[in-house]
Copies of this chain bind each other. A is one copy, B any other.
Amino acid sequence: MTPSDKALVPFVSVDQMMQIVHKIGLTRMFTALADAIAEDFLRWQDFDKTPRVAAHSNVGVIELMPTADNSHYAFKYVNGHPKNTAEGLQTVTAFGVLADVTTGYPLLLSEMTLLTALRTAAMSALAAKHLAPKDARVMAMIGNGAQSEFQCLAMQALVGIDAVRLFDSDPAASRKCAANLQGRGLTVTICDTPEAACEGAQILTTCTADKRNARVLTDNMVGAGVHVNAIGGDCPGKTELAEAILHRASIFVEYPPQTRIEGEIQQLAADHPVTEFWQVLAGREPGRRDARQITLFDSVGFAIEDFSALRVVHRLARETGLYQPLDLLADPDDPRDLFGMLMRAKAPAAA
């Protein structure tokens, strides 16, 4: 039995996502993602926004991140299990769905492990474009795990950095990151300490995976005028920055109700002033005001970014043909006749 078109949902597998990236190129992918995020952030009020729905266990978290505008609905399934790495599994895996609000039918099912890495880096770079010093050329990359190369290359593509200074508590991670960045036009330096990584850097990116309140950056490591791009503090009890840094910084966030629970600012009072980044994009709030200001993008990842990313993939999958149809939806000839469809499917082998 061949399902009808209505029953088939385009599916982008991991392999197809990788082929899409190679087909259009990494720089164009980062640009497309950042453009789509900016476009959607500029119509912030069009979206149903809700903090993610998280199921915590003592070893990790599984989250659903839904959002919708008038025409499209999207959600992402994403887990965070720091101990997975030791078992040969990914800390973060994800997949997501884009759906049509008018019919409720899914339009796309996509892998999002790679896509999340790509959109997180595009989001960081979009924020840094507006918040980092204009002449930023050097980035410290602290935490050299799965996200690190994406961060470095998106900052190169969209912000124009030309050097990265790597630190990881595991030197093998830094060597892996450096090897992957070879030949891409970035000067790469592996550093022995986080302090050394921060030397001369205008952008400090933290992206570590420990599920606890850490001090990846201490107060003395953050000099005047830098932009801090804090990625790894993204759930309750997991932060990367010493609290003192937060009191010296102008703090920009995606969606305050979520960031106050999950971000670095969980360390602060609930009424500590923060700026919604979309307001900067919209020109309603200033971004960086002066050369000595410390800016902090306290990024936890927000559902609209995934919405934007799924929009981009939905378009690219159709343009490239890199997807496969999935028999995910029941589609009886008469919509009320689900049971008849079931009965007529009897013994398909003999049909």
Chain A residues close to B by CB (< 8 Å): 1, 3, 6-7, 11, 13-15, 18-19, 21-22, 48, 50, 53, 55, 57, 59-62, 64, 66, 68, 70, 73, 75, 77, 79-81, 84-85, 87-91, 93, 95, 97, 99, 101-106, 111, 113-114, 117, 144-150, 173, 176, 179-180, 326-332, 334-343, 345-348
Contacts and interface: CB of A to CB of B under 8 A. Distances in A.
A5 B257 CA distance: 38
Given A329-B90, A338-B113, A14 B21 contact: no
A6 B348 CA distance: 31
Contacts of A75: 64, 77
Interface SS of A by simple majority: mixed
A7 B3 contact: no
A59 B104 CA distance: 9
- Nearest 5 pairs of A and B residues by beta carbon: A79-B104, A149-B339, A113-B330, A13-B327, A18-B345
Nearest to A181: B339
B176 A336 contact: yes
B328 A13 contact: yes
Contacts of A347: 22
B73 A89 contact: no
A3 B66 CA distance: 28
A84 B57 contact: no
Given A13-B328, A77-B106, A105-B89, A335 B84 contact: yes
Nearest to A2: B15
Contact of A81 (B55, B103, B144, B179): B103
A88 B348 contact: no
B79 A57 contact: no
Nearest to A77: B97
